[in-house]
Amino acid sequence: MDYFEYRNGELFCEDVPVKTVAKKVGTPLYLYSYGTFERHFLVFDGAFRNIPHLACYSLKANSNGALVRTIAKLGGGADIVSGGELHRAIMGGIPARKIVYSGVGKSEQELRLAIEAGILMINIESEGEFLLLKKLSRKMRRKVPVSIRVNPEIDPKTHPYITTGLKKNKFGVLWSEASRLYREIAAEENLVPVGISSHIGSQILELGPFIEAVTSLRSMILELKEQGIAVEMLDIGGGLGITYKDEMPPRPDEYAGVVEDKLRDMGIRLILEPGRVLVGNSGIFVTKMLYVKRTQGKTFYIVDGAMNDLVRPSLYDAYHEIIPVVEAAGKTAAADIVGPICESGDFLAKDRQLAEVKEGDLLAVKSAGAYGFSMSSNYNSRMRAAEVLVRGSEFFVVRKRETLKDLTRGESIPSFLEV
């Protein structure tokens, strides 16, 4: 459920006309519904009320400070994958004790920052990372709570670019290696094995892969216990899918039910990393029609939004529903919706049936809250879009549109090139 709807033929975000925001802020822009985001978190978090847990919002989905602050106010934590996301989480008000750090390539500087901050847990993803943490914990003389991200070799049946739990993926370590590493961690004075972690992929639409993963992790926890290593937390990652077109993902209560069934007697604290499921349908991308270009047998709707703003269609061939901000009457026609980037791969949709729209009309790309702005870039020296948050009848610019000056900030001309 989201709070984007037509009223008298015009698209609203909560109680604000989308057209009003576009007129004030300009296009392209990202528009988020506070009410939708808040509701999605409360529904997801509430689904696990019968088991000790912490819902750590996955910042990589969308790290805007206003959204991070919302999670903090609602009592959630943060799942981070970089030192920059650690900074964003803390600046957003999320306590360090509610932050979990994953990712295969944590640098020494990033690990130092995480240790100094005193975060809840660092998920180790390789033997090399373990060795670096061992060195740092000794040098810094700090107790470091750690987990190992185990690769359970489970096929989540999703896009190959967003699977993370197979042997061929770069993430995590196999259990045979993890079992040995846990023993070595337990022998270290300053490394504390507090958890076990796994994340099998994203946009998962069936419960089966989750059941397989939790069943496998349960057996690993019991095996560790037999070795005298009693972990207190199980991080099962995120990955629950959303509806982009006609998908029917499991509801949060269904997901919680199968997880609780496997863990009820384990005395474990569950760590969850929801991202897309919270923010995906909480946002839209608004773009303006620039030109209608008709060639022999083909129609192009050229808009001011591009692959640098929303790369998912180009990168994953991902589907996003696209609707006019003001409902258009009349017959529909097939068109490619493309942007100004100098790439044939710059498109938001191909051969999409849309009511005929004209130059100057606004289009809304739905389900754009996750991996929209967070994956955007300055390709073709384009300025990144504004981000706007709506709450009830008010809207707030939570990130200003970049300026030409922003494009060259930090650059310098060496002296030998100066005129």
pLDDT digits (tens, 9 = 90+) for 378-412: 999 999 999 999 999 999 999 999 999 999 999 99
Mean pLDDT of 58-87: 98
> Tokens 């029609």 label which residue?
289
For residue 210, the model assigns a pLDDT of 87
Rg from Cα positions in the chain? 23
Domain spans in the chain, listed from the N-terminal domain onward: 4-32+281-408, 33-279
For residue 176, the model assigns a pLDDT of 87
pLDDT at 8 over 60: yes
> Tokens 């750590």 label which residue?
56
What is the architecture, at CATH level 2, of domain 4-32+281-408? Beta Barrel (2.40)
DSSP symbol at 52:
-
pTM of the model: 0.94
Length of the chain, please?
419
For residue 328, the model assigns a pLDDT of 84
342 carries an active-site annotation: yes
What single-letter amino acid sits at 179? S
Residue 361 vs residues 326, 330, 336, 355, 358: alpha-carbon distances, Å: 8, 15, 16, 12, 6
For residue 213, the model assigns a pLDDT of 87
Q: How confident is the model at residue 166 (pLDDT cuts 50, 70, 90)?
A: very low
Q: How confident is the model at residue 163 (pLDDT cuts 50, 70, 90)?
A: very low
pLDDT in tens, 94-134: 999 999 999 999 999 999 999 999 999 999 999 999 999 99
Query: What fold does the segment set 33-279 form as a domain?
Result: TIM Barrel (3.20.20)
Instruction: Name 365's bridge partners.
Output: 285, 322
Percent of the chain with pLDDT over 70: 95
pLDDT at 154 over 70: no
pLDDT in tens, 286-339: 999 999 999 988 999 999 999 999 999 999 999 999 999 999 877 888 999 999
Catalytic entry in 187, 329, 342, 419 = 342
pLDDT at 159 over 50: no
- Let me know if the fold of 4-32+281-408 is the same as that of 33-279: no
